[in-house]
Structure 1
């Protein structure tokens, strides 16, 4: 074997450790989707405090754009394959027609964008900005998917409108803004320890 054929870890793609981290974040997403089943007091009013957006952002911040997006893709396909890993222990290919499936797809972009920003700006404020931008992408993609789904293939009341779709997203918004900031702060601190992103 010549020197020219030898590839370093960074050239060949993902190390075994980074694959483990990707699998770990896929597992955290499964828990985060149904955290209220284990901790019932995390329901405020009628709004469950899920941790999916938090973990999707954190995956990008710690693993980087490609590996973070991979972890979220693995999570999505595990659910589509039939494992009950989506919210309310949902799963199966039929989930794709759910009005909220857009949020699951958006987690891939959420992780990718969060990772992309911190790959260029590794300071604390860069992590917080990355988390907030990624959270915004999650809301924009997921809410627009939900609106289109309700209008074209899911049963929706006649009064349902684009404003109503966004109104439905207002109760969890303060929670997700707070968790995004915390993800940015936590991600910045943890990356100094883990340093898995390359």
Structure 2
């Protein structure tokens, strides 16, 4: 790994901590806003699949070690029992998938596929983990079902779609800015 890549991995692990806690300050229509999906996708797009996933894995282990980097400034091994921990796990695959798609494609449609993959993996892993947590170890609300878990996610979908579009639009601009300053991300030559 190059020193630049190590710094960018650490930067994205830190940005995930900030993105997790933006919701403490910003709500839109009662829905908390986080920037984690955005940072996971940009990490994959800039760093590539391997380093992007590594930066999200570093974020995960920093939180599990006890640093208050997860949403609502939480951290520690007890986070594994949180119904929303599946979303944290999903960011590793989000970064990997979006990075892999953008590494291997030179067409603009690659950005569309990277966005679809990111939302798909985020929702599939996160929502299924949430459902399992509520069914097996967390206190599920009355009438909770698999359909209810997915209906809860409907409130987040418009925001996640907007964040996905912004993220994918930002990746080439960030790569161009890095190249202009004489820096290269791991994925910049492959995507451009």
TM-score past 0.5 threshold: yes
1:17 aligns with 2:1: no
3-state SS of 1:83 partner? coil
Match of 2:101 among 103, 108, 117: 117
1:196 aligns with 2:185: yes
1:177 aligns with 2:154: no
Distance, in Å, in 2 between the alignment partners of 1:89 and 1:51 is 14
1:108 aligns with 2:97: no
Q: What residue is the counterpart of 2:119 in the other structure?
A: 135
C-alpha deviation, 1:160, in angstroms: 0.4
Distance, in Å, in 1 between the alignment partners of 2:93 and 2:77 is 20
Q: What residue is the counterpart of 2:144 in the other structure?
A: 160
3-state SS of 1:34 partner? helix
RMSD: 1.3
Moved more, 85-94 or 187-196: 187-196
Match of 1:70 among 43, 50, 54: 54
Aligned residues: 182
Contact map agreement 1:60 1:112 (CA 8 A) in 2: yes
Structure 2 length-normalised TM: 0.90
Gaps of 5+ in 2: 179-183, 188-192
3-state SS of 2:87 partner? helix
C-alpha deviation, 1:53, in angstroms: 0.6
1:59-114 Cα offsets, whole Å, 9 max, x none, are 00110000000000000000001111000111011000111100000000000000
3-state SS of 1:64 partner? helix
Higher Rg of the two aligned structures: 1
Distance, in Å, in 1 between the alignment partners of 2:27 and 2:176 is 33
Match of 1:29 among 4, 13, 16: 16
